[in-house]
Amino acid sequence: MTIESKLFNLCIDESPPRNEPLVAKYMRSFAFPVLSKLSPFNISKTGSYLSANKNVILQKYGAEAENDITSVLEKLDTLISDILSNAPFRELRSDNIDVKIWNKVLDDFSDQDGNRPTWVFANWLYTECYIHRRIFEAFETSSLLKNYDPFFEQKMNALTHCEDATDILGKFLVKYFNKNDVQLQNLREDIPKIIKCSLWGNRCDLSQTGGDAIAQTESPLNLVDSLQPLMLADESSKIVDFLFTSLDEPNDNKILDIILDNAGYELFTDLCLADYLMTYKFVNTVRFHGKAIPWFISDVTIQDFSATINHIAHASRSETLKELGKRWEAYFKSGQWIFESEQFWTLPFNFGQMKSLDNDLYSKLSQSFLIISKGDLNYRKLVGDVFWEPTVPFTEAVGNFKPSKLVALRTLKSDITCGLAEGLAEHISKNDPDWLKIGKYAVIHVDGI
């Protein structure tokens, strides 16, 4: 029996139970193929990239780094073997500040006899986060590659491959920003377009492709119109009404918090949305929340964030993009834009646990005028990674995570969804059985607005 067949033999050929957290043992959930196929593929691709770039790494870090490369490759191979053989989870072994928390979680998930959780049977959110934390551990326990991000080049490629699309959106914004007579009606009509550019940017997710760039070549603004039929829930009108009502309320401390997802093209669209809301005084400050470590291949770190703005401001082929990038540099120098990377975002907890586990972060978000959550993983964490009935209201699914007014922008890449109209899920699944998992459809949900 191969280790792959062992994994299959442990699983059940059924859909996951409704209103329960996802578990990979149910073969008709998205968790099972991610565990058995996509995660091993992504880990293997990480190793292949490291091997292919060996000479570049040695030039930068010195000949001593060769031992580190060998060690990292061995640890990645072990991780794949552990997954496919359903081996028990083990403690993390680095001196990083988060290790005590991870190992406490491991103890909490172990039974009274000390039997540790395994890949097939543990809650999927914990399992998937643990996979990516183990990938980072392979690097951080080395001597010279502790801070090496094996995905950085792919993330930057994902940006540069989309320069035609970024230029189109950039020209639209810069032309807009340079007008002296923008009417409120124009803003009311265009805010949903800018929001949806940020939403659909979430389709460009390297974790779905093993790091291969997804080129966005179409006009983002035209794309918004053509993709509208794929919006399964669209509460953007509520966002617009809320923003315009706020213009009449004197407040010099309107903080927008954006919980980021992917680097590359998606990050560019997020920056465009932030700039738009800043320029027209809907918000005064933007806090971007990224990841403290390389995470889920394409998630934004401070290195990605800084390199993205620097590239746009100084290395773009387009003078318009350079102008836009310099605006963004100025926001940071003035303190109007802030990048933060709290530890909570790379722990295996859902957002409903934030108030009890990281009250400082919850309190910070409570100061927010508006919170925008980007992407599929953040959405799953918002709703507890529970396989809800699709008609359960979003406001109910987010539970006790209520620090401030909330917007979720998400293209669907997992089984988890909620807030859909009666019968809509059944109608789509008849014609598109994999509709939940392929990033084709999208939702805009709000809570508290």
* 146 within some domain: no
pTM: 0.96
Q: By residue range, what is the domain housing residue 94? A: 6-141
- Which of 120, 141, 162 delimits the end of a domain? 141
Mean pLDDT of 9-13: 93
In this predicted model, what pLDDT tens digit does every residue of 145-154 receive, in sequence order? 999 999 999 9
- Same domain for 267 and 237? yes
pLDDT (mean) for 335-354: 98
What is the per-residue pLDDT for 203? 81
pLDDT of 56 over the 90 cut: yes
In total, how many domains does the chain have? 2
| Tally of CA atoms within 13 A in the half-sphere of 156 that contains its CB | 17
Do 91 and 226 fall within a single domain? no
Find tokens 């990938």 and name the residue. 135
Domain match, 234 and 382 both: yes
Kindly report, residue by residue over 91-115, the tens digit of the pLDDT: 999 999 999 999 999 999 999 999 9
pLDDT of 379-404, one tens digit each?
999 999 999 999 999 999 999 999 99
Q: Does one domain contain both 23 and 91?
A: yes
pLDDT confidence of residue 142 = 97
Q: E-strand spans in 168-248?
A: 231-234
Q: pLDDT (tens digit, 9 = 90+) per residue, 178-201?
A: 988 888 888 999 999 999 999 999
Regarding whether 136 and 194 lie in a shared domain, the answer is: no
Query: Rounded to an integer, what is the distance from CA 207 to the centroid of its chain?
Result: 10
Residue 330 above 70 pLDDT?
A: yes
pLDDT in tens, 204-233: 654 444 444 445 556 788 889 999 999 999
Q: State whether 276 and 171 are in the same domain.
A: yes
Higher-scoring residue by pLDDT: 180, 325: 325
Q: What is the structure's pLDDT at 6?
A: 77
Q: In this predicted structure, what is the pLDDT of residue 60?
A: 96
- Answer yes or no: do 180 and 96 share one domain: no
pLDDT band at 370 (very low <50, low <70, confident <90, very high): very high
Residues 192 and 324 in one domain: yes
Name the β-bridge partners of 88.
Answer: 118
Residue 272 confidence (pLDDT) above 80 = yes
pLDDT of residue 205: 52
Handedness of CA 190, 193, 197, 199 (dihedral sign): positive
Which residues fall within 8 angstroms of residue 414, CB to CB, at 6 or more apart? 22, 30, 31, 376, 380, 436, 437
Work out the pLDDT band at 20, boundaries 50, 70, 90: very high
For residues 334-338, average pLDDT: 98
Pair (168, 98) in one structural domain: no
Q: For residue 221, what pLDDT is reported?
A: 85
Instruction: Check which CATH number belongs to the domain holding 121 and give it.
Output: 1.20.930.60
Same domain, 159 and 240: yes
Cα–Cα nearest to 124, from 193, 254, 192, 27: 27
CATH code, 361: 3.40.50.10880
Domain assignment present for 55: yes
Q: Are residues 80 and 206 in the same domain?
A: no
Do 248 and 376 fall within a single domain? yes
Considering 93, 112, 141, which residue would you say is the last residue of a domain? 141
